[in-house]
Amino acid sequence: MTLMSGCASTGGNVGVIDREKQGRPQQTELPQTQDPQTKEPGTGKVQVPVIAPPRSSAAQTLLARANTALRDNAPATAILLLERAVRIEPREAQLWMRLSKAHLDKGETQIALQHARKAIALAGTDRNKQTGAWLQLANVYEAQGRDSDALSIRQRYERGSG
């Protein structure tokens, strides 16, 4: 098969699935029990505050599975799970934050940047969500080589969250 998409770049807004990591999805949907660890698994760079989970148990479950996928270095799977969660709770900042991380892990820094901004916009007055979203933006800036921008965010929010 000679699909045109096969030679599409990973830029723009169409992601080409990393088949080595992704392949055919193996994990079935059943049974879906909630992973207790919905907290940021940690990148070693920032200490993200504990953020209240999404309201619905459905989004919580998907977030937990996405976090597992991120830990397993399967960002493409995590993105599909998080997008599914966003369709259930579109205004949940934490989901966009994790989407930003998943795209960052996948090397899609421009998408990661915009998703982090979306998370900031949706965080509202929730201080922990604001901090988490800004620190995610700092991670993206670092990946883009914008170290001074990242540093100023860290100085502001890591101090605040500490």
Partner 1 sequence: MAKKPATRRRTADTKKKPTGRGWLAILRRWLLQLLLKTVLWGGLLAILVGTGYLYYLDRSISKTFEGRRWSVPAQIYAQPVELYAGKRLTNAELQVELQRLGYRQTSDLSQPGSYQPIAGGVSIHLRAFAFMDAPRPSMRITVMFVGSRLQRLSYDNRPLDLVRLEPAVIGSFFPSHGEDRVILTPDEVPALLANGLKAVEDRSFDDHQGFSVAGILRAALVNLRSGEARQGGSTLTQQLVKSYFLTNERTIERKLRELAMSVILELRFSKEDILTAYINEIFLGQNGARAIHGFGLGSQYYFNKPLNELPAHQIASLISIIRGPSYYNPFRHPERTIRRRNRILDTFLADGLISNAAHQDAIGQSLGVVDSPNSGGAYYPAFMDLVRVELSERYSADDLRTQGLRIFTTLQPSIQANAQRAVSATLRSIENERKQEPNSLQASAVITDTQTGEVLALVGGRQGRVDGFNRAINAQRPVGSVIKPLIVLSALENGFEWSSVVDDASITLTPPNGEPWSPRNYDGKTRGELPIIKALALSLNLAMVDLGNRVGIGTVQGRFQDLVGYAPKNPYPSFFLGAEPMSPLQLTELYGNFASGGFHTPPKSVIAVLDEQGVPVSHHPFDVTQTIDFATASSLNAGLQLVMQRGTGRSSPFSNQGVAGKTGTSNDNRDSWFAGFDNSRLSVIWVGRDDNKPTDLTGTSGAMRIWNAIARAEGPDPLLPDIREDLVAIEYDTGLQATSKCADVVVLPIRQPDNLQIKSGCSLKPSFGERLRAIFKP
Contacting partner 1 (CB under 8 A), which of 43, 47, 68, 114?
Answer: 114
Q: How far apart (Å, rounded) are the C-alpha atoms in residues 147 and 151?
A: 6
Q: Which is nearer to partner 1, 47 or 114 (CB)?
A: 114
Size of the site for partner 1 (CB under 8 A): 58
φ and ψ at residue 50, rounded to 5 degrees: -70, 125
Please choose, out of 16-24, 42-50, 135-143, 145-153, the segment that lies near partner 1 by the rule CB under 8 A.
Answer: 16-24
**Window 117 to 156, contacts with partner 1 (CB under 8 A):** 117-118, 120-122, 124-125
Contacting partner 1 (CB under 8 A), which of 48, 63, 86, 138?
Answer: 86
Q: Burial, 74: exposed, middle or buried (Cβ in 10 Å; 0-12, 13-18, 19+)?
A: buried
The yes or no reply on residue 21 touching partner 1 (CB under 8 A) is no
Q: Which two tokens stand for residue 33?
A: 């029990």
Cβ(79)–Cβ(104) under 8 Å? no
φ and ψ at residue 22, rounded to 5 degrees: -90, -60
Indicate the residue type of 100.
S
Q: How far apart (Å, rounded) are the C-alpha atoms in residues 62 and 71?
A: 14
**Window 45 to 84, contacts with partner 1 (CB under 8 A):** 55-58, 60-62, 76-77, 79-81, 83-84
Helix (H, G, I), strand (E, B) or coil at 119: helix
Q: Which is nearer to partner 1, 3 or 162 (CB)?
A: 3
The binding site for partner 1 (CB under 8 A) comprises: 1-6, 8, 13-17, 19, 22-34, 55-58, 60-62, 76-77, 79-81, 83-84, 86-88, 90-91, 99, 103, 108, 111, 114-115, 117-118, 120-122, 124-125
